[in-house]
Structure 1
Amino acid sequence: MNRITRRATLGVAATALAAPSLRAQGAAIRIVVPFGPGGSTDAVARLVSPGLTQRLGVPVVVENRGGAAGSIGTDIVAKARPDGQTWLLTFDSHATLAALIPQLPFNPDRDLDPVMLIGGAPYVLACKPDKPFRNITEVVDAAKARPEAVSFGSTGNGTIGHLTMVLLQGRTGTRMTHLPYRSGGLAVNDTVAGHVDMMIGSAAVVHPHVRGGTLRTFAQFGPQRLPALADLPTVAEAGIQGLEAEAWWGVFAPHGTPQATVARMNAALKESLAEEQVRRTMQETQQARLIMSSPEELGTFLQREVAKWGAVVRDNNIRAD
């Protein structure tokens, strides 16, 4: 009787989510990030993984599988067994995949189940401090004076940052040169080095470099000024209305993952994000507005994002790198 009780206690402690991985010695739950190291999505995944490891009772490892606007890593999760051992933590470009890649090897709606919308942060424009741009108007003026001479970096063709700049060019009658990168970290590196005039990225990936003095921001695309960037005007304040773009991070599971398993991961994420140090890092370092939604709320949110940004992809005939 004591042996049975002890086994039952261990099973509860490990939780239903972790149990499948415990059957294979040394197995771990993996969170697939469909982008390279150094970007905000990678940072968020690594920030929450220790708390998830503690709460789920098995190691939680982050696996970077970048490429093709995030579709390579996403495909891995879409085709994984729905057993609670493989999860996707992805970025806002997830909303553009179906429009961006016509021959996508998976269906984002059919093959993935929503788990949580973690939070969001406004997109910002940033440059090396010795670059001449001080506001969005100066960028527009320079691009008009020298079509295609002004360059900007993003995390890839069809990402929300790229699409935001496509809209900006369309509304201002300008042409700029786009340099797509495989991750936010690579875009930052080349911007800091001065190889690209500016970059568009989430406040999350840019802020540490702004704080360190290697980058300077000069515009933000949120609906209002971010508290940590209170002196930085929005593009609406600069006279460009209706051009809002916020980065977001979401977690998905392979379709068919049991609802109880999804609920357990959602709860573990909420508990991990609510830790004081993690919450502070998300808000102050990643510049994120925490949402920590239900699976249903992420599903509804994603539908709106797909409709909004998918139209930009189709209207401008944009394809993945």
Structure 2
Amino acid sequence: MTLNRRAALALPLLATPALAQPAWPDRPIRLIVGFPGGSTPDIAARAVAAHLTTVLGQPVVVDNRAGGGGTIGADAVAKANDGHTLGVTIGGPGSIARILNPALPYDPVTDLAPVSLLARMPFVMSVNPGLPVRNLAELVAHARANPGKLNYGSVGAGSTGHLIVAEFAARHGLDITHVPFRSVPQSVTEVVAGRVEMTAAAAGAVVAQARAGQVRAIAASGAARMATLPDLPTFAEQGEGARDVYAWIGLFAPAAFPAERLARISAEAQAAMRAPDTVRALEAAGFELLGTDAEALRTLIREEAGLWGPVVRRLNIRPES
């Protein structure tokens, strides 16, 4: 065979890209949220889903898997192997869930891949207006004078709201009882109704009630005062030390998610947090938008484990606490 003949036969092989990859995504993407519709994680998830639907060319469908304080949804993300499943979750299920419950069927550190830290908001410690308490010092004094008579609600044992109050009570030697509920809005509703006396809830779930006088906000957990409640002092301003703790919302993928897809989704998630429609929707809900890279979320997870892990162990907090 002549040299020219061999070269001609080789042309079709050279014309075929050796590394050609199928287009992705090639079908709808499922975005699992471990909390009910209308919750703060759900609000963030739907804003991101709307942006991703536009830029990826495939529907991004929010799938609410409420229960277990967010761990049911996070577990579903960790176990997904279809290459088209992502998840939105919050601090506990995304960082310290395995510390709280060693029997949990997933490990947020090894089974979930951080994609982007989307947004955050501080926690607000609030009490029923009938309680004679207007700040943290008065809360301590009242609880000491009424041991065992105060209850506080949260979204569940080991949730950040639970840990904030449990650590505060332990530090001051207070005897107050934890009452878990299925959702943050439910815990706030119970404070409004007076069936529990207090809660530490994400700001977006309680600001409207505080402004309406249905609850009395007494402290915020962020590094600075909130623009939406400018007269509310922080924990630090009330002599409680730094309480730079937030209700954060993170975007995750299963640990086995392909790296090139992770990079693309992370970049698009960061862009989503700068998109005008997303900014309007989430700022109206009380979020501070972040839209970080994956490493910033990974760092936050390590920091939260270092902060809350010792508290969980010292107070022997378990899922049924």
Shift of 1:174: 0.8
- For the 8 Å contact 1:122–1:221, the answer to whether it is kept is yes
Q: TM-score, normalised by structure 1?
A: 0.86
Distance 1:113 1:231 in 2: 39
Distance 2:23 2:144 in 1: 59
Match status 1:115 vs 2:115: yes
Distance 1:255 1:32 in 2: 15
Q: Partner of 2:73 in structure 1?
A: 73
Shift of 1:211: 4.2
Deviation readout 1:251-295 (Å, 9 max, x if unpaired) = 110112112211222222223222223213323x33322221111
Report the secondary structure of 1:225's partner residue: coil
Q: 264-273 or 301-310: which moved more? A: 264-273
Distance 1:237 1:213 in 2: 22
Cα separation, partners in 2 of 1:144 and 1:113, compared to 1, 3 Å: same
Report the secondary structure of 2:228's partner residue: helix
Q: Partner of 2:297 in structure 1?
A: 298
Q: Partner of 2:246 in structure 1?
A: 246
Shift of 1:58: 2.0
Distance 2:212 2:60 in 1: 31
Alignment of 1:17-28 (within 5 A): 17-19=24-26, 21=27, 28=28
Q: Partner of 1:164 in structure 2?
A: 164
- For the 8 Å contact 2:127–2:216, the answer to whether it is kept is yes
Deviation readout 1:171-197 (Å, 9 max, x if unpaired) = 212111111112212212222322211
Shift of 1:215: 3.4
Residues paired across the two proteins, number: 298
Distance 1:139 1:99 in 2: 30
- For the 8 Å contact 1:95–1:306, the answer to whether it is kept is yes
Distance 2:140 2:246 in 1: 21
Q: Partner of 1:8 in structure 2?
A: none
- For the 8 Å contact 1:37–1:183, the answer to whether it is kept is no
- For the 8 Å contact 2:148–2:175, the answer to whether it is kept is yes
Q: Partner of 1:144 in structure 2?
A: 144
Look at both structures and tell me which one has the larger radius of gyration over its CA atoms.
2
**Percent of residue pairs identical:** 38
Alignment of 1:172-191 (within 5 A): 172-191=172-191
Q: Partner of 1:310 in structure 2?
A: 309
Q: TM-score, normalised by structure 2?
A: 0.86
Q: Partner of 1:228 in structure 2?
A: 228
Q: Partner of 2:30 in structure 1?
A: 30
Alignment of 1:59-70 (within 5 A): 59-70=59-70
